[in-house]
Structure 1
Amino acid sequence: MKGHPTVSNHATDPLQADDWLREIEKQMNIAQCNDIEKVLYASGQMQGVAQDWWESYLYGHPNNAPAVTWKEFTNNFKSYKNPDGLVELKQEEFRALKQWSMSVAEYRDKFAQLSRYVSNEVTNDADKQRHFLQGLYDGLQLKLMSNTYANFQALVNHTIVIDNKHKEMEVKKWRLQG
């Protein structure tokens, strides 16, 4: 409890449920808990709708059944919080993601968040770079496409530098015209 874990009640964003599970698991790994202790602790941090789900889930287990394992708990909780239809919507959102008026940092963060739903499409660094480039606005994309980058972070760093310079030039141009 010293880790001050959050309580799971009703998250509308499926990533919040996943983040909550990751936070709980991190705390339990630090405390060197076994699977049963993880399940007991996590279920004790549930309130409201999440608690209702857990109680309903337990009703489906006979008293003589083996205890719920951490893997079983996480798989079923994710299945409950992340129904296939919602996951598909998030996958489509990733595929349609464009930078538009977002800063590069905002776009990178949204890209990272949504890429968790399409892990099979961004299996390696080259895939991440390709998808990231596709979502940038055309002018920035054109400036970056002719280069190769050692890794995804190098691409992001270069994108930030070029985008910043582009914005500086736009401001200069606006001042000269004004």
Structure 2
Amino acid sequence: MVADDYMDQVETQLTLMDVTEDHLKIILATDKFSKDAKLWWKTVTNRQKVEEMSLDKFKELFYEKYFSISKRWELKDQFLGLIQGNMTVAEYENKFTSFSRFAPEMVTDEVDKTQKFVSGLHDRMRPLIMAQFIKVYSEAVERALMLEADIKDKDVRKEQWKQKKGAGPPSE
């Protein structure tokens, strides 16, 4: 995922810099390479003319080397099977966001993304959130966070009540 994060950062910087020519994009993208990546890039440039290479071809070569298709499939499978489990809503949402980029067809629009997120929520929360028919992802996340806080508060009060009840009458 480091390779994918690197490519995301590069593309963001290139957009901010308003670089339009693929040749310049590739030069800037490879400028920060070090050690193994620098050696790999040197072998690529010995075999291919960078001046004629498209950015898509560069990304294809980069991903072949540093982010294999089998790893991407594995991460997609992890996203498809992602459930909240013992994670907090915030942890689940972070993982959901991180892995969703590996299955973009599952989150093509706001409704699909929201439905996938809600379907992975903990059993205590999912029916309550689903019943609200939320179609906006950020709203579903916010409601889940609020519900989680409410559940935790109720659990604490319930435990305090049990402890108070179990203590029995004060001794004289």
Identical aligned pairs, as a percentage? 23
The answer to whether structure 1 residue 99 and structure 2 residue 87 are counterparts is no
SS at match of 1:52: helix
Query: 1:108 — aligned with what?
Result: 93
Q: Following the alignment from structure 1 to structure 2, what is the Cα–Cα distance between the partners of residues 98 and 32?
A: 39
Matches within 5 A, 1:1-178: 14=1, 16-33=2-19, 34-61=21-48, 66-178=51-163
* RMSD, aligned CA: 1.7
Alpha-carbon distance in 1 for matches of 2:116, 2:42: 41
Kindly tell me the number of residue pairs found equivalent between the two proteins.
162
Q: 2: CA distance between counterparts of 1:26 and 1:92?
A: 26
Find the residue that maps to 2:125 and give its secondary structure.
helix
Give the TM-score, by structure 2 length: 0.85
- C-alpha distance in structure 2 between counterparts of 1:108 and 1:26, whole Å: 23
Q: CA deviation at 1:66?
A: 4.8
Query: Hey, what's the Cα distance between the residues in 1 that align with 2:25 and 2:16?
Result: 11
Partner amino acid for 2:77?
E
Q: Distance in 2 between matches of 1:48 and 1:55?
A: 11
Query: For structure 1, which runs of at least 5 residues remain unmatched after alignment?
Result: 1-13
| TM-score (norm: length of structure 1) | 0.83
Which has the greater radius of gyration? 2
Looking at structure 2, the residues matched to 74 and 85 of structure 1 have their Cα atoms a distance apart, in angstroms, of 16
Structure with the higher fraction of residues in helix conformation: 2
